[in-house]
Structure 1
Amino acid sequence: MKTADVIVLGAGMVGVSAALHLQARGRDVVLVDRRGAGLETSFGNAGLIERSSIFPYLFPRDPAKLIKYALNLLPEAHYHLGALPSVGPWLLRYWRESAPARVAKNIAARRPLIEDSLIEHEALIQQAGCGTLLRRTGWLKLFRRPETLAAGVAEAEKLRAYDLDIDILDAKGVLAREPNLATVAGAVHYLDTAFINDPGALAKAYADLFSARGGRFVSADALTLEQEPDGRWSVAGPDGRIGAGAAVVALGPWSDLIYRRYGYDMPLGFKRGYHMHYAPQRGTKLNHPILDADNGYLLAPMARGVRLTSGAEFAPRDAPPTPVQIERCEPIARLLFPLGPALDQAPWKGARPCLPDMLPVLGEAPRHKGLWFDFGHAHHGLTLGPVSGRLLAEMMTGESPFTDPAPYSATRF
Structure 2
Amino acid sequence: MTKDAIVLGAGIVGVSTAIHLQRRGRQVVLVDRQPPGQGTSFGNAGLIQREGVVPYGFPQQFGLLLRYAFNNRIDAHYHLRALPAQIAFLARYWWNSNTKRHEMISRAYAPLIEHSVSEHNDLIEASHAEELIRKNGWVELFRSNEKRDAEFAEAVRLNREFGIGYDALSGAEITTMEPHLRGNFSGALRWRDPWSVLDPHGLTSAYRRYFESIGGRVTTGDAVSLGMAGSAWRMVTAEGSIEAEDVVVALGPWADIVTKRFGYAFPLGVKRGYHMHYATEGDAILNNWTLDAERGYLLAPMSRGIRLTTGAEFALRDAPKTPVQLDRAEAVARTTFPLGERLDPEPWMGARPCTPDMMPIIGKAPRHNGLWFAFGHAHHGLTLGPVTGRVLAELITGEKPFIDISAYAPGRFAP
Q: Same fold (TM over 0.5)?
A: yes
Report the Cα offset of residue 240 of structure 1: 2.0
Other-structure match for 2:136: 137
Gaps of 5+ in 2: none
1:216-295 pair list within 5 angstroms: 216-228=217-229, 230-295=230-295
Residues 153-201 of structure 1 deviation map (CA, whole Å, 9 limit, x = unaligned): 1211111111121000110111111111113111111010100010000
Residue type of the alignment partner of 1:409: A
Residues 336-372 of structure 1 deviation map (CA, whole Å, 9 limit, x = unaligned): 1110111012110000000011111000100010000
Other-structure match for 2:324: 324
Quote the Cα distance in structure 1 between the aligned partners of 2:72 and 2:366: 42
- 1:196 counterpart = 2:197: yes
Quote the Cα distance in structure 2 between the aligned partners of 1:79 and 1:44: 20
Residues 359-407 of structure 1 deviation map (CA, whole Å, 9 limit, x = unaligned): 1100010001000000000000000000000000010011111112210
Residue type of the alignment partner of 2:186: A
Quote the Cα distance in structure 2 between the aligned partners of 1:138 and 1:12: 23
Report the Cα offset of residue 47 of structure 1: 0.2
SS at match of 1:125: helix
1:101-120 pair list within 5 angstroms: 101-120=100-119
Residue type of the alignment partner of 2:197: I
Residues 279-334 of structure 1 deviation map (CA, whole Å, 9 limit, x = unaligned): 11121111111111101110000100000000000000000000000011101001
SS at match of 1:217: strand
> CA RMSD of the aligned region, Å?
0.8
SS at match of 1:287: coil
Change (3 A) 1:77 1:399: same
Other-structure match for 2:210: 209
Residue type of the alignment partner of 2:74: P
Quote the Cα distance in structure 2 between the aligned partners of 1:44 and 1:223: 25
Residue type of the alignment partner of 1:206: Y
Quote the Cα distance in structure 2 between the aligned partners of 1:282 and 1:222: 48
Other-structure match for 2:79: 80
- 1:303 counterpart = 2:303: yes
Stretch deviating more after TM superposition (398-407 or 269-278): 398-407
Q: How many residues align?
A: 411
Report the Cα offset of residue 75 of structure 1: 1.4
Residues 23 and 214 in structure 2, CA contact (< 8 A), matched pair in contact too: no
Report the Cα offset of residue 219 of structure 1: 1.4
Report the Cα offset of residue 239 of structure 1: 3.3
Other-structure match for 2:53: 54
Report the Cα offset of residue 265 of structure 1: 1.0
Residues 7-35 of structure 1 deviation map (CA, whole Å, 9 limit, x = unaligned): 00000000000000001111000000111
Residue type of the alignment partner of 1:224: S
Residues 223 and 257 in structure 2, CA contact (< 8 A), matched pair in contact too: no
Quote the Cα distance in structure 1 between the aligned partners of 2:358 and 2:80: 24
Residues 224-271 of structure 1 deviation map (CA, whole Å, 9 limit, x = unaligned): 11111x121111022321000000000000001110111111110000
Other-structure match for 1:156: 155
SS at match of 2:353: strand
SS at match of 2:212: helix
- 1:315 counterpart = 2:315: yes
Quote the Cα distance in structure 2 between the aligned partners of 1:17 and 1:81: 37
SS at match of 1:108: helix
Residues 72-118 of structure 1 deviation map (CA, whole Å, 9 limit, x = unaligned): 03211000000110111111110011012211221121111101010
Other-structure match for 1:386: 386
Structure 1 residue runs of 4+, over 2 Å off?
A: none
Quote the Cα distance in structure 1 between the aligned partners of 2:306 and 2:239: 42
SS at match of 1:202: helix
Other-structure match for 1:97: 96
Other-structure match for 2:126: 127
SS at match of 1:74: coil
Other-structure match for 1:338: 338
Q: What TM-score, normalized by structure 2, do the two folds share?
A: 0.98
SS at match of 2:2: strand
Residues 219 and 239 in structure 2, CA contact (< 8 A), matched pair in contact too: no
Quote the Cα distance in structure 1 between the aligned partners of 2:146 and 2:73: 18
Residues 41 and 200 in structure 2, CA contact (< 8 A), matched pair in contact too: yes
SS at match of 1:278: strand
Other-structure match for 2:145: 146
Quote the Cα distance in structure 2 between the aligned partners of 1:155 and 1:164: 11
Q: Give the share of equivalent positions with the same residue, in percent.
A: 52
SS at match of 1:340: strand
Report the Cα offset of residue 53 of structure 1: 0.5
- 1:351 counterpart = 2:351: yes
